[in-house]
Chains A and B, each alone.
Chain A
Amino acid sequence: MSAVKHQGIDLSQVPKPPSETVQPNWRKVLGLQEMGVYYALALLIATLAGVTAYIGQDNYLSIQNLSNVIYQTSLIGMMAVAMTVVLISGNFDLSVASVAAFSAVVLVGNAATLGFWPAAGMAMGAAMLLGLLNGAIVVFVGINAFIVTLGTMTAVRGLILLYTDGRSVSVTVPEVTDVMKAFEGGRHEGFWAILIAGFVMLAYGAYIGLRGATAGQRLRPAVVGYVGGGLVLLLLCWGSGGELPIRNPVLYMAIFTAAVWFTLSFTKIGRRVYAVGGNAEAARLSGINVTKYRLLAFVFCSMTAGFAGILFASRLRSMNPSGLQGAELTVIAAAILGGTSLFGGAGSVIKTLAGALLLYSLTNGFNILNLGANWQGLIEGCVVVAAAAIYTIGDKRSKSKTGG
C-alpha cells in the first residue's frame, strides 16, 4: 500500500520484481495428479518385466518387445495427441476413428488409378473436410460436440460402407504397394540419434540446473525432467547393445508429438488454445478469435486422423469397411489417462502419449503372459476409471486446500 498503486498504466514507476527464486511445489509436481500416468506406466512395465522374468519367459524389456509396443501405439498415439488438442480447446471428437477409416478407404480405393501420393493427398483432403464439417456444425450451429461427432462418427462409417459396398478393398499394384511399404514399413537405425538426444537432454538439464544453483535458485522441476528424460534415453541405448531400430510410424509420432507439444507450450497459438478451453467468453473478450481456434482444432484432429488412416492402410495395403471401429474410445481413453480435462483448458500431449503407451503395454502384457484377451477389456476399463478417479480426487483436494 505504498505509492505504487497510484501509477496506473504508466508503469515506469513500478518497482522491479524481486530477484525471486521460483519455489517449486514439489509435492504438487511429483503428486499423483501431475505424474500419475508416468508412475502407472513405470509400475506396469516393472511388473510385467518382473513377472516375465519370474515365469521364465522372454525378457519383457527386450528392445524387440519394447519397440513393438511403441510401434503398436503409434497410430492411436498420434490421434490421441490431436484429440488432446480438441479437448483442451473445450470440445470433443468421437469421429476420429471413422475419419481415419474413411481416409484409409479413399487411399486404397484410389491409389491404383491415381498413384500413392495423389491418393494420399486426396485422403488427407477428405479427412480435413470432415473435420471442417464437424467444427462448422459445432461452432456455427452451436450443437454440443459430443452429439455432432456421435452423428458424424456413424454417418462417416455409413459413407465407408457405401463407398466400398461393404466389401474389403485392397491395392495390388506393385508400384503402389512398394511406396506404401517404404512409407509405413521403413526402418531407421536410431541408436546414435537417441544416444545424442539423451546426452543433449542430460547436458541441457545439467546446464540449467547448475546455472540456477549458482544463481541461488532451488532445484526446478524442468531440470529433473530433462535429466530424467535424458537418463531414460541413455539407459535405453545402453540396454540395446548398439541397435535401436525405429520404424517410420514411431518416427512420425515422435516428430508430431514434439511439434504439438512445442506449439502448445511455447507459442501464442498454444496459449490461446488453452485460454479458449479454459473460459471461452473471457478469451473472446480478450480479443481472441474463439471461433477460429475451435474450428481449427477440429480440422487439426481430423487431419491427424486422416494421416493415421493413411498409415493404417499402408500397413495392411487393404481396408476392411469396419477397420478401426471402436478405436475412438481407445484414443479418448489415452487422453483421459494422461489427465486431460474433459471440460477444456487443461491437458498435456506428452502425458496423453504416456497414457496411450500404458494402454498398449497392458494389451501387450496380456498377450505375452497368455492371460487371454477376455480379461483385457475389464482391466482396461478399470484402469481408465481409476485414473479418472485419481485426477478428480486430487483436483478436489488441491482446491479445498487453498479455499477460503
Chain B
Amino acid sequence: MQAQPPIMQLQGVEKTFANGTKALRGVNLDIAPGRVHGLLGANGAGKSTLIKILSGAYAASKGDIVWRGTSVRWDSPKAANRMGVATVHQHIPLVPTLSILENIFLDDDGLWRGSAAMRKRFDGLCQRMGYWLNPDLAVSDLSIGQRQMVAIFQAFGTGADLIVLDEPTASLALDERELVYSAVKQLSKVEGKAVLFVSHFLDEVMALTDQVTVLRDGVVVMTAKTADLNESLIAEAIVGKHVAALEHAPRHHATPAAGGAVPRLTLKNLASPGRLHPMSLSVAPGEVVGLAGLLGSGRSEVLHAFYRADTSATGEVLLDGKSFGRSTGAAVAAGIGLVPEDRNRQGIIPDFEIWRNVTLPALDGITTSGGVLSQKLERARGWTAIRALAIKASSPDILVTDLSGGNAQKVTIARWFFSDVKLFLLDEPTAGIDVGAKADILRLVRQLADEGRSVIIVSSEFEELLAVCDRILVMRDGRCIAERSADETSEHDLLLLAGGHGGADAVPATPPHFIGGRNE
C-alpha cells in the first residue's frame, strides 16, 4: 500500500472569497487509492471549502490540483465528475419522487427510463457493494440511512476513483452508520477507490480511516497515519489546545420531586396517535433528563407533544404544577424553550441577522415605553448572545445563514436566554458541530441546571447524555422502554436498549459495540 502513488494531490491550495475571507491558506493534501483518508476540522476550519474545490463547485484562488499526476483545473462539478471525482454532499441531493434506480443514474445520457441495461448495471453495483436495494422504491419512502446509501451508490455508479463523503453519518442513527462504514470499507479495500471521509465523529475516524488530515483556520495542522494517533491527539489538533474530556464530575444530582417539591414538569399519559404511546414523566427543577434512542424512536415526538407543536397530542402537561394552553405560544409563555433538531428547517429564520433571530421569542423586553421595538436594545442582545456563547461573528448584523453550523446552533440556543425559561428542550443540540462548540454547549447545560432550570436533551450520542444527564430515558418505537440513572448505566447498556431487537428491517445485523468501542 505504501508504494501507491497518490491519485489526488493538492499543492498549496488557497481560497480567498470576494469579501476578503481567506478560507484556505495553502493546503497540501495527498490522497492515495485504496485508502480512506479522514478530513477533520472545527466548523469554519475550511473543510467545506476544500471539498467544494475538490468537487469543482469552487475554483481555487491559488495552488495546484494534481489528479493522476497531471495538474488539472475543473470549472464545474460535472467536469470533476467526468474526470473521476464524485462527491456525496452532506444534505443528500436526491429527487424524492423518482425511484432509487433513476436517482442513481440521474445524469445518465440514455434515452429510456429504467432501461434493462441500467438495471443490469444496478445489479452489478449491488453485487460489488454487497448491499441490496429495491431499485423501484421511491426515494421518498426510504429512511435517511438508505438515502445516504443511494447517494453513495450514485457516486460509485459514476465509476469515480475518488469519492468524497462529506459527513455521511451526521444525521444517521447508529445502525444506519454501520451501513455506511461497510460501504466505505468495500469501496476502499475491495474496489481500490480513494475515499476522502469528512466527519466530526472521532471514533469513526479512528476505526475507519488509514490516514488523517486536520485543518484549522485554513491550514493543515496535522497529517498522520491513523494507527499512530488516538482520539485525544486528534481533538487537540482540531481545537488547537488540550481539551479536557468532559469529566463525569460528581455533581449534585437533582432527584425527581425531591422532598415533595412541585415537579418542574409533569406529563400524564402524554400520547400522540401513530407517533407516541402514552408515557408519563416527572422532571424536578434543576434536573437534566436525557432521551436516548435511535432516529425515529419517538425522541423528538415526545418534546413536540408536550411543547404543543404536535397538535394531535393528548394527555396532561403541567409546568410547575400548572397546565397551559394548547399552542407553542402558550408553552413559550409558560416558560419552555425548544431548540429543534433540524436547525435549518425548524430553527433559524434565514433572512434575519443574528440579532433578529436571537430576539424572536421574547420581544417584550426590548421595546421602548411606547411598545416600539428598540434596535439598540435588540442589537445589545445580539452582542450578549455572541459573547455569552462565544459565537464566531464579528457583529450581530451578520446574517445567520453566513454562520457555520455550530455557531448557528448557538444562535438558536441563545434565543431562550432572555426570558425566564424554566425548562429547556434541546433536540440533538450537538449534531454536526465541532468538538469545541460541543463542549461549550454541554457545559452550558450544566450551568442551566445549576441555576435551577430543568433540561431535557435528546441525543444520539449516548456518551454525551451520560456526561451531562441525571437520568436517561430510552425510547424505542414510540415508547419509553427504560429509565436509568446516569450513574448506573453505561453507553453499552444504552445502545443495547435503544437498538433492541427485531426493529432492524432492511439493515444487516450489527454488533452494537462497534461505536461504543470508544469507551473501552
Contact = CB atoms under 8 A, between A and B. Distances in A.
Interface of A: 1, 4-11, 14-18, 20, 22-23, 266-268, 271-272, 274-275, 278-279, 281-289, 341, 345-346, 400-404
B328 to A, nearest CB: 5
Contacts of A11: 384, 388, 417
Interface in B324-353: 327-329, 331-333, 338, 340, 345-352
Nearest to B404: A404
B363 interface: yes
A295 to B, nearest CB: 14
Given A271-B356, A274-B352, A288 B448 contact: no
B505 to A, nearest CB: 29
B274 to A, nearest CB: 18
A4 B387 contact: yes
B338 A278 contact: no
A79 B383 CA distance: 39
Contact of B387 (A8, A15, A282, A286): A15
A401 B328 contact: no
A338 B367 CA distance: 29
A9 B356 contact: no
30 contacts: A1-B390, A4-B387, A7-B388, A9-B416, A9-B447, A10-B447, A14-B384, A17-B384, A20-B383, A271-B373, A274-B349, A274-B356, A279-B348, A284-B309, A285-B328, A285-B338, A285-B340, A285-B347, A287-B331, A287-B361, A289-B327, A345-B351, A400-B18, A401-B18, A402-B17, A402-B21, A402-B402, A404-B15, A404-B21, A404-B52
A6 B387 CA distance: 11
Contacts of A402: 17, 19, 21, 399, 402
A345 B373 CA distance: 18
A34 B296 CA distance: 44
Contacts of A400: 18
Contacts of B448: 8-9
Given A266-B372, A401-B17, A402-B17, A285 B349 contact: no
Given A5-B388, A9-B421, A17-B383, A279 B349 contact: yes
B443 A6 contact: yes
B44 to A, nearest CB: 9
Nearest to A344: B351
Contacts of A10: 447, 451
A218 to B, nearest CB: 13
Given A9-B421, A266-B372, A404 B58 contact: yes
B70 interface: no
B454 interface: no
B79 to A, nearest CB: 18
Contacts of A271: 356, 360, 363, 373
A8 B453 CA distance: 11
Contacts of A15: 387
A101 B390 CA distance: 56
B214 to A, nearest CB: 18
Given A275-B349, A401-B19, A404-B48, A286 B361 contact: yes
Contact of B417 (A4, A9, A266): A9
A275 B360 contact: yes
A348 B395 CA distance: 24
Given A9-B447, A404-B21, A279 B388 contact: no
Contacts of B309: 284-285
A96 B370 CA distance: 33
Given A15-B387, A266-B373, A286 B52 contact: no
B337 to A, nearest CB: 9
A268 B417 contact: no
Interface in B92-144: none
A43 B46 CA distance: 44
Given A5-B388, A5-B440, 4 more contacts: A15-B387, A278-B352, A281-B346, A404-B21
A281 B19 CA distance: 31
Contacts of A267: 371-373
A278 B344 CA distance: 11
Contacts of B351: 274, 278, 341, 345-346
Contacts of B23: 404
A100 to B, nearest CB: 30
Contacts of B361: 286-288
Contacts of B21: 402, 404
B83 interface: no
B328 A284 contact: yes
B209 to A, nearest CB: 24
Q: Which of A281, A282, A402, A404 has the most CB of B within 10 A?
A: A404
Contacts of A8: 388, 417, 443-444, 447-448, 451
Nearest to B410: A5
A85 to B, nearest CB: 16
A17 B360 contact: no
B380 interface: yes
Contacts of B402: 402
Nearest to A281: B346
Contacts of A266: 372-373
Contacts of A5: 388-390, 440, 443-444
B397 interface: yes
Contacts of B87: none
A268 B58 CA distance: 40
Interface string B353-396: 00010001101100100011100000110011001111000010
B444 A279 contact: no
A400 B19 CA distance: 9
Interface in B237-293: none
A248 to B, nearest CB: 29
B35 interface: no
A402 B17 CA distance: 7
Contacts of A272: 363
Contacts of B447: 6-10
Nearest to B441: A5
Nearest to B373: A266
A404 B367 contact: no
B397 A22 contact: yes
B415 interface: yes
In the complex, the 6 A-B pairs of residues with the closest C-beta atoms, listed nearest first: A287-B332, A8-B447, A17-B383, A278-B349, A286-B361, A404-B49
A159 B327 CA distance: 37
B350 A278 contact: yes
Contacts of B347: 282, 285
Contacts of B327: 289
Given A267-B372, A278-B350, A279-B348, A287 B329 contact: yes
Contact of A403 (B17, B356, B440): B17
Contacts of A9: 416-417, 421, 447-448, 451, 453
B345 A281 contact: yes
B248 to A, nearest CB: 18
B388 A20 contact: no
B302 to A, nearest CB: 15
Contacts of A285: 307, 309, 328, 338, 340, 346-347
Q: Which of B348, B349, B364 has the most CB of A within 10 A?
A: B349
